[in-house]
Amino acid sequence: MSTPITSWSTSAPRAPRVRAVDWLRGLVIALMTVDHSGTFLDAAHLHGDNWQWWTPGSPLPTAEFLTRWISHLCAPTFVLLAGVSLALSDEKRRGEPGQTRFIATRGLLIAALDPLWMSFGFAAYTHISCQVLYAIGMSMVFMAGLRRFSSRTLLVLAAAIQIFGELSTHWQPTVEPLHSLWAYLFVGGPTFGRAGCSYPAVPWLSIMIFGWVLGRWFVEPRDHLARARWLAVVGAASLGLFVAVRGVDGYGNWNLHRESLDVLQWLHVNKYPPCIAFTTLELGISFLLLAAFVALDDPSAPRRAFAPLALFGQTAFFYYLLHIHLLHGAQIAFGLDPKEHGLGTTWLGAAITLAVLAWPCWLYRRYKRAHPDGWTRYI
């Protein structure tokens, strides 16, 4: 995740992977698969986590809502851990030439795969969408330069983006190309022709910055239990901030407000773009889960029970590029009408997808380990 393929040799020193990061990434891969399975196999699958699409008073069926809600953890965790991995990789390859160029080039490639490849899998190009790969890729492009700043400066910048991001809705240019540029950078939504953006770059950049600072912190030597305690404190503080923001129910909710005191209304937060309530809730959960995995990440314990999570966590990008096409292809091949199916088919479809892709992911991981400086560095 750092330098051009030709810029350094295979003999460069390599730091061990942080297993807890792989385990958490593997967990959210599984949750993501459930959500995307529902997209193709469940006509009642909910998509009401955007204030622009939500009609106040609409029902929130508990089972459908919670199935969708657990997947909210995925995108912010992916972006957070992408920042962690970027920082660890940058540290591992410190002093090697071409770091900045590689990060920017890889970021542009990742961002381009959303309209060029994932839009085919999701909608057969009937709609060209920039989603989480676009957010991760463009955030990496920004981080190619921003990573030179201190952790304190970066934290201030990330906090400022989160705090003031909602103000971007107060000015909505209508003239092209300003309208599309504003959407791709700040607010999302339809842009031009069949194109649109669900994951505007700047709000998600703040989450990658948090991940980058976290990755720098992981580089520092520290007992794993002490590290877990600090992560738990950060997670609890983030959830406390969520309760405050959602409780006041004003600024910070990006116009998707509670309609009652019901638990589901507290959890029904704006994801597109990530408001303060969404970010603090999901990152709070992410930090607590990461704290639990770090506490279990005793170097002397093999933790074989987590092997499936490690597999998918270490091949997450490869898996992501395949799973949507597999789900959509299976829906077409077997004539699966979402109107005839529901949550049972959704969970079954997710389990089958994970099982089918486990072997290709294992083969890819083995190949990548044998060729660490080849094309796999981009994937």
| Per-residue model confidence as pLDDT tens digits over 244-293 | 999 999 999 999 999 999 999 999 999 999 999 999 999 999 999 999 99
pLDDT for the residue 8: 28
138, 285: one domain:
yes
Asked if the structure places residue 376 within a domain, the reply is yes
Quick: pLDDT tens for 63-96.
999 999 999 999 999 999 999 999 999 998 887 8
Cβ–Cβ < 8 Å for 64, 343:
yes
Q: Say if residues 75 and 271 touch (Cβ distance below 8 Å).
A: yes
- The tally of domains found in the chain comes to 2
> Do 279 and 311 lie in a common domain?
no
The pLDDT value given to residue 163: 97
Domain enclosing residue 343, as ranges: 302-379
Partners of 195 in the beta sheet?
128
End of a domain among 301, 334, 368? Answer: 301
Q: In this predicted model, what pLDDT tens digit does every residue of 95-132 receive, in sequence order?
A: 788 999 999 999 999 999 999 999 999 999 999 999 99
Q: How many Cβ atoms sit within 10 Å of the Cβ of residue 337?
A: 9
CA 230, CA 288: separation in Å to the nearest integer? 10
- Write the pLDDT tens digit of every residue in 301-330: 899 999 999 999 999 999 999 999 999 999
Q: Are residues 130 and 188 in the same domain?
A: yes
Would you say residue 28 lies in a domain? no
Asked if the structure places residue 21 within a domain, the reply is: no
Instruction: List phi, psi (to 5°) of 128.
Output: -105, 110
Please report the DSSP string for 46-93 in residue order. -----TTT--TT----HHHHHHHHHGGGHHHHHHHHHHHHHHHHHHHT
Q: If you average pLDDT over every residue of the chain, what do you get? A: 93
Report how far apart, in Å, the C-alpha atoms of 302 and of each of 148, 172, 305 are: 36, 53, 9
Q: Which of 245, 280, 301 is the last residue of a domain?
A: 301
